[in-house]
């Protein structure tokens, strides 16, 4: 009975959301895999991260259903490297498996998913990097939805890398220091971010009840709307997703005022 009521509620939310502006670019911080496992007595964290990877399939279907064109996922931060080795390998194993599946599954073509990864990718194991490159190559011709994995990612590091890349290029072009300084602007730095072709995220969702960004898309999120959901990522439901989008639609967006 409860599941049927949730179904009806979900249909109602979907009707409310459709026909209104939806986020062009949705960012999601996938939080709560470990807590989900601990609460359910799952001893193997690999299983928890695998469940989280499976959840992504549903979320992408929900995004496609309402017309979201870009989704960015924070799946592994640079700080995560400091966790126990077994946990790091569990997360990266789940990432590799999901990327391999996205490269091969007909769903990727049906949804028009174009996969990419951003971050300090040189810090990743060769097997993870190979899975990334294979998924990018297999989905390069798809155009309906950009799916970006933030792996070995830190928001501050992205800004540092952007500024360094800008200075390096300008220096190679022979520009003098004062000219480089005078040419620094938001637009200039934006051209050197990891994915400069993506629009800034309109909405960022974080699961598991944490009320902070922790540096996710630090530069790009200046005018994003935020939605914090108590559900752990593996337990994230369609009604949670639609509530987040509805909350976004009900807000009056202000850019710099």
Among 33, 57, 80, 142, the active-site one is: 80
Active site (annotated) includes residue 79: no
CA atoms within 13 A on the CB side of 49: 18
In terms of DSSP bridges, do strands 145-153 and 25-29 run parallel, antiparallel, or are they unpaired?
Answer: unpaired
Active site (annotated) includes residue 182: no
Tokens of 119: 């971050």
CB-based burial, 28-58: b 16+ in 10 Å, e otherwise: bbbbbbbebbeeeebeebbbbbbbbbebbee
148, 136 contact by CB (below 8 A) = no
Among 31, 146, 202, 240, the active-site one is: 31
- Other residues' Cβ atoms within 10 Å of the Cβ of residue 128: 21
Which residues participate in catalysis according to the annotation? 31, 80
């Amino acid at each position: 009975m409860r599941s049927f009521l949730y179904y009806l509620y979900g249909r109602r939310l979907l009707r409310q959301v459709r026909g209104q502006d939806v986020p062009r670019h949705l960012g999601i911080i996938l939080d709560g895999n470990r807590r989900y496992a601990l609460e359910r007595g799952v001893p193997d964290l690999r299983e928890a991260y695998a469940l989280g990877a499976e959840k992504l399939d549903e979320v992408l279907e929900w995004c496609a259903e309402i017309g979201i064109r870009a989704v960015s996922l924070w799946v592994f931060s640079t700080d995560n490297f400091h966790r126990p080795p077994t946990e790091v390998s569990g997360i990266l194993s789940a990432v590799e498996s999901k990327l391999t599946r996205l490269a091969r599954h007909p769903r990727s073509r049906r949804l028009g998913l174009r996969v990419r990864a951003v971050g300090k990718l040189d810090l990743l194991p060769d097997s993870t990097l190979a899975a990334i490159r294979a998924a990018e190559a297999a989905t390069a011709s798809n155009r309906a939805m950009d799916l970006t994995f933030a792996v070995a990612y830190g928001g501050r590091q992205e800004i540092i890398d952007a500024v360094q890349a800008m200075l390096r290029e300008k220096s190679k072009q022979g520009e003098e220091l004062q000219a480089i300084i005078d040419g620094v602007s938001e637009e200039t730095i934006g051209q050197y971010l990891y994915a400069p072709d993506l629009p800034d995220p309109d909405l960022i969702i974080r699961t598991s009840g944490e009320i902070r960004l922790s540096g996710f898309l630090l530069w790009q999120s200046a005018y994003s709307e935020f939605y914090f959901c108590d559900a752990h990522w593996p337990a994230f439901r369609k009604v949670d997703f639609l509530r987040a989008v509805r909350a976004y639609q009900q807000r009056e967006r202000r850019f710099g005022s």
